[in-house]
Structure formats: structure tokens, C-alpha cells
Amino acid sequence: MIKTKTVIRFFFMSLISAALACSTLSGSVSSHKNSESPSSGKLPEKTYLGDYITYKGYFFAVLQVQDPAPLSANAISRPGSRDVALEVIGGNHNGDWSSPFSTLSSGLGDGSSNVFGEDYSNSGVGISVEFAGYYDRGESVRGWMVFSLPENVKPLVLNLSYENPAGGWLLFQYGLTPPPAGYKPLRADTSRKPPDRAAFGKAAQKNGYSLKALEVKDPVDSIPLMAYSKPLNSRAVGVKIEIRNTSDSMLLIRDIILSDKEGYIYGLTMSEAIQSQGQQTVDPGGVLNDWLYFILPADAALDVVRLVCNDISNPMDNIILRTGLS
């Protein structure tokens, strides 16, 4: 279901709190054997900055650390502290596309018992990353996570919470120190599966539901009802879409994203009907026209808008509709 960023973050933080109360799997206790491939999905014993780890069909890596990180224009001043920013990437490399992303950050740690939570107010480095929604094979997100740390604390690990197939959660400590000389970095298969889509202006159709892109504004000067400024090195894009329901059942909107030509996906920042008015269903015989707004990196090339929806009487059967933007 489409939700605002605040609701998503509150939901994630609730899961994180539960994860921290569970038993943990440490990633920093013993030395890592470089010859062990991460493609099996097993969490490695130890990681360094730049390693790709995989678990349950998804991959994750920290690409760089900015310490201290620049502050945004509306940053909150915190004497005696600084911001630390991590550029991260995560996505689906061989999992079921309809599975929600199963990686949650639970804080930046100093290698002992001190853990510092993510800070959503001070980012001055770029687009914030959010691991929400659904991922097709090869789709991924790339962006920044920002934490506020005391001046004398050195960040050594990022705590990640993973769903445990046996129940509960696993806590993995992703190491943030540079790899030693001669170390062979861990890598994952991040190849993209070219998605099926309708051409721009044509309707993607299934089960009596359809999605069509009618107009693209790239860039737009401002996003309606957006209460914060755009991140550094980003632009806003508007896409006018039509969702049509010719079936006998109510259409329920589950998730809408925009993807670029590299397979990176971007969540819905705002829309005139779906978010601002809470329009999340389309009645049989109904049509919904809406302007969707997304924030992308300044150099990202538009590719596809994707709708995940389903029959409200059968909420477990996801219907995927994609329409091209060029």
C-alpha cells in the first residue's frame, strides 16, 4: 500500500526494535575467507567497505563513507556531534520479484555496544535510500543513509536486520573499515532482467486492469505539497498516468515506482490523488488520472513506471503493469 515516507520509516523502526530484541548473528567475530562466494546467500563471517553481501535473493553493499558529511540547508544543529553518511546499494539479484525487501538498518555502531540510529533531517549529501516496496530481478536502490554521532565516536559497523527463515531476525554487522592489501572483495550478480512493458502512450493491461503514461514533465520546478527541499544533485520529475479498471472487481493500488535505465528504482514522492487524497482503489468501470512525482539523481535516464495492484478480493495475487516513459 502506498504510504508516506514518515509512515514507512515508523514501520521500519518498529521492525528494527523487534529485531534488536532477538538473538544475533555477528559478522565481525572471526576472519573471513576470501574464497567463499557470497552467491550461496550465506552471510559471510566478516566484511569490509565495498563488499556485496547476499541473503534470500537480495544483495547489499556500502560503497563509501563520508565522515563528516555535509549538512543540508535546514539541518538541525547538534553541538558535540557530527553527521556520518553512507552511500549504499541494495536490490534483488535472484529472488522472487514480489518479495518485499528484507534488509533493515538497525544503526551505526562503534564495534561495541554503542549504536546510533539513522538521522532523517540533516542529509546534505544526496538522495536518501529507502528499502521499501517490491523489486524485480536486477532492480536496486542506491542512495545515502545519514547518522548523527558524537564527535569522539568512530563508525566501524552498520547493523543490518534480516528476516530469519526459522523465525525472528538475524543481526549482521557490516564492517566499514577499508579492506587490507590483497583482499578480494565480495561481489554479487546484479545483472538486470529486462522488464516487459507497454510503449509510452500505450496501455499495459492484465485481468481488466490497465496503466498508461500520458505525459512526462522532466524536470518540474517544484512538487505540490512537498514540505522539504530537493536533495543535492537531484531533480524532480512528473508523470501523468491513467489507471483504468474494466473488470468486475475493485482494483487496489499496492505500489508505484519509477525505474531508470540502469535498473535503479525510486519511490513515489507525492501524487495529486493517490497520496495527497488517499485514492488507493479504482472501482469497476472506473478511471483514475493522476500526476505522480519522483525525485531522481540529476543524471538518471527515465525508463519505466511500474504499478503493482490486485483485486481487492484476492490481495495475495499481485498484478504488475509497466509502461515506458520514452
User: pTM here?
Assistant: 0.81
- CA nearest 300: which of 217, 237, 230? 237
Bridge partners (DSSP) listed for residue 65: 86
CATH number of 5-175: 2.60.40
Fold of 204-324: Immunoglobulin-like (2.60.40)
Residues of the chain scoring pLDDT < 70: 1-41, 73-75, 98-104, 122-123
pLDDT of residue 254: 92
Per-residue pLDDT at 6: 33
How is the chain split into domains, by residue range? 5-175, 204-324
What pLDDT is stored for residue 106 in this prediction? 73
List b or e across 217-244, with b for residues whose CB sees 16 or more CB atoms inside 10 angstroms: eeebeebeeeeeebbbebebbbbebebb
Tell me if domain 5-175 and domain 204-324 are identical in fold.
Answer: yes
| Whole-angstrom distance, CA of residue 65 vs CA of residue 77 | 21
Write down the H helix ranges in 192-320: none
Q: Determine the pLDDT at residue 166.
A: 77
